[in-house]
Structure 1
Amino acid sequence: MRLYHHPASSSSRRVTLAALHMGTPLELTEVNLMSQEDRRRLVLLNPNNKVPVLQDGDFTLWESCAIMQYLADRTHGQTLYPDNILIRADINRWMLWTAQHFAPPLGVIVYERIWKGLTGNGGPDEQAIARAGQQVAQFAAVLEQHLAGRDWIVGEQLTLADLAIAPSLTYIEQAQLPVMQYPKLKAWLGRVAQLDAWRQTTPVW
C-alpha cells in the first residue's frame, strides 16, 4: 500500500501515526504541495487536491479518517479499532466529530499563524483567528468535559479516536492554539505524545 502524504500535514499525520502504531507497512510518497506538477498529479488521485491519499492496488482512498479505518481493517491483531460494533460506533462518532467540528477551526488558526506567511499570502487575519478561536473554545470544552475521569477518548485504551483528534494539535505551541486552559485535554495530549509513533511523526522545524 502506498500513501501520498506531506509530513507537515496534520491529516497525513493521522494516517502515518495509526499505521506506525499498528505496524502496518506503507510505502510513503511525499507530495510537494508547493509544486504545481505534484499538485497536478495529486488531483488525478484525489479530486479534492488534498493529502493524504492511499493506493492499495487498483483501489484509491482519500479522507484521512476513512484511510485510518481501512488500514485497521487490513491489520491483523490491531487494537485501535476493535470489532465490537458499539465501540466502533463510539470511535466513529469522535472521528467524525473532530473532522467536522474540532479540527477545522484549529486548522484556520494554524494557517493564519504559520502557513499563510510561509506561502507568501500575507500576515495573519486576526478577525479570522478570533472567529476560529470561539469555535475551538466551544468544542474544546466538549472534549474537556468528556475526558473527566478518562485517560483515553473511547474506553480504557488508545483507539483511532485519539489518533484522529490529536494531530490537529500538532502545532499547539507554534500557532499558539487556544487550548492551554483545558487541563484534562492537555494531560490527554501528553499521554498521546508519549507514544513512539507520535515522536516519529512529529514534523521537523
Structure 2
Amino acid sequence: MKLYFHPMSGNSRRVLLVATHLDIPLERIEVDLTTGKQRETSYLGINPNGRVPALDDDGFVLWESRAIMLYLAEKTPGQTLLPTDARGRADVNRWLFWCSAHMSQAATVLVLENFVKQRTGRGPPNPTEVARGEALFAQAAPVLDSHLAGRTWVTQERLTLADFSLASSFALAGPARLPLGDYANIRAWLGRVQELEAWQRTAPPAPSRA
C-alpha cells in the first residue's frame, strides 16, 4: 500500500499511527505541501481535494484520514482499535466524527495562524482568525476534558481509533499555541498517548522556532 502524506500533517499522522500500531507496511510518498505539490494535476488525480493523506491499496484509492484509519483497522484480523460489536463501533465512530466536526476544526485554525504561516513565510497570524480558533477551541475542549475525567482512554476502556484521531489534533499543540492549560484531563490523556510506541515512531521532524 502507498500512502501519500506530509510529515507535519495531523491528518497524515492519524493514518501513520494506525499503520504503525497495527504493523502495516506502507510505502510513504511525501507530498510537499510547502511547494504546492498537492495542487498539481498529477496529485489531484489521486485526491481531487488537493489534501493529504491519500491511500492507494493496489488501485483502490481512498482519501479522508478517518476513512483510511477505519479501512486499515478493518483489514487487520485480530485488531482491537475498532470494536466488532455495533454499539462499540458506534461509540468509536461518534468520537471520530466529533473530532472531525469540532476539535480538528478549532486546532486547524490555530495551527495555520500560529505555525504554518510562520513556517511558510505567509506573514504574521491574523488576530481575528486566532480569536476565532480560540473560541472554537473553548467550545470543544471542555467537552473532551469533561468526558476524560476518570478515564484512561477516550472510549471502550482501551486504546482505540478515537484516541489516535483526537491526539493527532494536538500533535502541534506547542508551536500552534493550543490553549490546553485549563484542561488537565486532556493533558494527562495526551501524555499517555505520547508514551505509546506508535506515537514516538511517527513523530515528525521538530519544527523550527521563531
* TM-score, normalised by the number of residues in structure 2: 0.94
Structure 1 distance, partners of 2:36, 2:11, is 20
Whole-Å separation in 2 of the counterparts to 1:45 and 1:35: 18
Kept in 2: contact 1:18–1:160 (CA 8 A) = yes
CA–CA distance in 2 between the matches of 1:37 and 1:177?
28
Query: Identity rate of aligned residues, in percent?
Result: 47
Q: Is the 8 A contact 1:3 1:29 kept in 2?
A: yes
Q: Which segments of structure 1 move beyond 4 Å, counting only runs of 4 or more?
A: none
Shift of 1:36: 4.2
Structure 1 unaligned spans of 5+: none
Structure 2 residue runs without a partner (length 5+): none
TM-score between the two structures when normalised by the length of structure 1: 0.96
Distance 2:106 2:192 in 1: 23
- Please state if 1:127 is matched with 2:128: yes
Q: 2:177 is matched with which residue?
A: 176
Count of residues in Structure 1 that have an aligned counterpart in Structure 2: 205
Aligned to 1:105: 106
Q: Is the 8 A contact 1:137 1:179 kept in 2?
A: no
The aligned counterpart of 1:202 is 203
Write the deviation string for residues 146-170 of structure 1: whole angstroms up to 9, x where unpaired.
Answer: 1111111111100000000001101
Task: State the Cα deviation string for residues 34-76 of structure 1 (Å, max 9, x = none).
Answer: 3345631221101100000000112100000000000001111
User: What SS does the corresponding residue of 2:130 show, helix, strand or coil?
Assistant: helix
Q: Which piece of structure 1 moves more, 155-164 or 173-182?
A: 173-182
CA distance in 2, matches of 1:140, 1:192: 17
CA deviation profile, 1:77-116 (whole Å, cap 9, x unmatched)? 1110121111110100100101111111111111111111
Aligned residue for 2:84?
83
Aligned to 1:158: 159
* Offset, 1:132: 1.0
Q: Distance in 1 between matches of 2:196 and 2:202?
A: 10
